[in-house]
A and B are shown apart, each in its own frame.
Chain A
């Protein structure tokens, strides 16, 4: 149980385009989802916290207009990187939290974004 999926697993896009990443909790309802960014050989940096049906809470230094987060249902959150630039290239990981998951964050497999 407590499986979280992400789609796509890998995406390459041109500079200036937008990319949407989906995060789904497959076997539980996620009241809260988190989005992280991980640079090579580095730890995870929390970008934002999203609660179903409300606006996401962004961490300091994260541009909310650049990283749009939508948590439209209890099983789906999306992260859209708008007007992507090469410096946005990174590994993006989501996690989901819900009562069905024992109040533990379960992580998705990550999405590798490369902006050319």
Chain B
């Protein structure tokens, strides 16, 4: 069975400082992993995805994530937070490309001026 755990329900950073959103997964197979962002009352936007290619994945808006199989982690990072990054972030695992998505509980990112 697959599962994903986002270790922080809420993260607060100051504008211009680094962002780290943590995610650990559990999967019996080589999973596909995703990060999605959701702004208030909006749908989800794909930030980046890992599908067994390069372990360091670069996404949109300066975000990137590193797949670490030994640690079963897929943490999301950004060197410098922007006010517009404030949103809800979901780490998502899928058994295979195109398969059912299993969502983490989400991490709310706040960015202080």
Contact = CB atoms under 8 A, between A and B. Distances in A.
Interface of A: 4, 6, 32, 34, 42-44, 46, 49, 91, 93, 95, 97, 103-110, 112
Contacts, number: 44
Interface of B: 34, 36, 41-46, 49, 90, 97-98, 100-101, 103-106
A95 B97 CA distance: 14
Given A93-B43, A106-B46, A108-B43, A43 B101 contact: no
A110 B98 contact: no
Nearest to B108: A41
Contacts of A32: 98
B104 A46 contact: no
Q: Give chain A's interface secondary structure class.
A: strand
Give the residue among A49, A97, A105 with the most B Cβ atoms within 10 A.
A105
A107 B103 contact: no
Nearest to B51: A103
Given A93-B43, A109-B43, A44 B103 contact: yes
29 contacts: A4-B43, A6-B43, A32-B98, A34-B101, A42-B106, A43-B90, A43-B104, A43-B106, A44-B90, A46-B100, A46-B101, A91-B41, A93-B44, A95-B44, A95-B101, A97-B98, A103-B98, A104-B34, A104-B46, A104-B97, A105-B101, A106-B46, A107-B36, A107-B43, A107-B44, A108-B43, A109-B42, A110-B43, A112-B41
